[in-house]
Structure 1
């Protein structure tokens, strides 16, 4: 039995999710919602076109949205008032849910079939599968949205989990600090581990191309991960469709 729990397995059996073809889970970094309102509008409309095509093909999609700069600013302000990590996490989670609401309402407003509510837990997300595009934020303190997306992908037997962020690839080192950092096109889970580090204590508002805890869970379950620049909608759609894409593929050995 996978660590996602007996409840998930029962829901999968009841809903028949194990037979859903083309199911993808996508973690959207909150940084993708940066920019002015026109830029955000255009990006959400582009995302809507991708999801419309996937729905017409009978392919299911679940989206977990990060908090981005909204979460980081709120956590930074709150950290002057409290050092309680769970409290800081709850503030970050609220930001992820705000961003998820923006995307969900935007998609719904142009006719994309979305789940009636944004799930607050992986269990709720599993039970919402098959009822439209699932759009949700964070769940509980100690879990980044990358980790939530990966756990959800494991829980619904998704074919892969897509990490859409503000960089185009996993790099050999931080490109903002190292001018000689190189793009990696394909790598193993173990190679990813050496770059993102070990899964130790979670830090609210932490920044990594893939969360170390999520990377560990993907490695343990041999879940394929794809990393793309979420603003590159061609790469995003190609990765969602299982086609060659510009980004990094992370596979088991």
Structure 2
């Protein structure tokens, strides 16, 4: 795999309903071991909002008949920043930089690990991951959440939905659409999709809690997941 890895970590695995500290320790140990094998390796971790975002957005919706989209986005962004600060602390001395909140201003890193959070309304942290991949010239983003593969449709709503091994960006864009709404439930958000497509990036969507499978991805072995890439 590449010397620099971009991990787009869904909030569902960093901050689910109850934060799993054992898992966070195991992930840190795995990432640390990978870094120690080669001193030139680096990691960029972009952290999603998870349960805190959903809960606070739901609370706001409960007070307003017509909640403002921008306010919902800002609530989600603040949740990503809380989760990112937790992840920075977990990574300890490997992470020497402050949590990144504007990916357009970052083109270098002091430590071996850089942690980033949400930037501004209009898209999810997926888009921030794409911007950081562009800045650091990384060709691939690992999009890690609580799903094993991208499905042809939402399996919770469509019983005929099937898991997919690979997709072109054109095929995926047709599935996810072109517009963003706060909390939109897609593996990779539409705005990030268009930017990644323009840049010719690859995205591997996989279950971030399956560390054995994640190891296979890191070391170029057969893995369970969905590859989204250029046509």
Q: TM-score, normalised by structure 2?
A: 0.90
Structure 1 residue runs of 5 or longer lacking an equivalent are 1-20
Structure 2 residue runs of 5 or longer lacking an equivalent are none
Aligned partner of 2:60 in structure 1 is: 78
User: CA–CA distance in 1 between the matches of 2:164 and 2:58?
Assistant: 32
Contact 1:22 1:241 in 2 (8 A): no
**RMSD of the TM alignment (CA)?**
1.8
User: CA–CA distance in 1 between the matches of 2:196 and 2:67?
Assistant: 30
Pairing 1:24–2:2 present: no
User: CA–CA distance in 1 between the matches of 2:151 and 2:123?
Assistant: 24
- Alpha-carbon distance, 1:98 to partner: 0.6
More deviation, 177-186/212-221: 177-186
Contact 1:30 1:65 in 2 (8 A): yes
Aligned partner of 1:147 in structure 2 is: 127
Pairing 1:183–2:163 present: yes
Instruction: Indicate which of 165, 181, 184 corresponds to 1:203.
Output: 181
Aligned partner of 2:44 in structure 1 is: 62
Aligned partner of 2:30 in structure 1 is: 50
Q: After TM superposition, where is structure 1 displaced by more than 4 Å over at least 4 residues in a row?
A: none
Aligned partner of 2:140 in structure 1 is: 160
- CA deviation profile, 1:38-88 (whole Å, cap 9, x unmatched): xx1121112112211221123211011100121012112223347332222
Aligned partner of 1:126 in structure 2 is: 107
Q: 1:115 to 1:240 in 2, by over 3 A?
A: farther
Q: How many pairs were matched up?
A: 225
- CA deviation profile, 1:200-240 (whole Å, cap 9, x unmatched): 2x212222111111111111111010000111112223323
User: CA–CA distance in 1 between the matches of 2:170 and 2:110?
Assistant: 33
User: CA–CA distance in 2 between the matches of 1:233 and 1:141?
Assistant: 31
Q: 1:241 to 1:124 in 2, by over 3 A?
A: farther
Q: TM-score, normalised by structure 1?
A: 0.83
Aligned partner of 1:137 in structure 2 is: 117
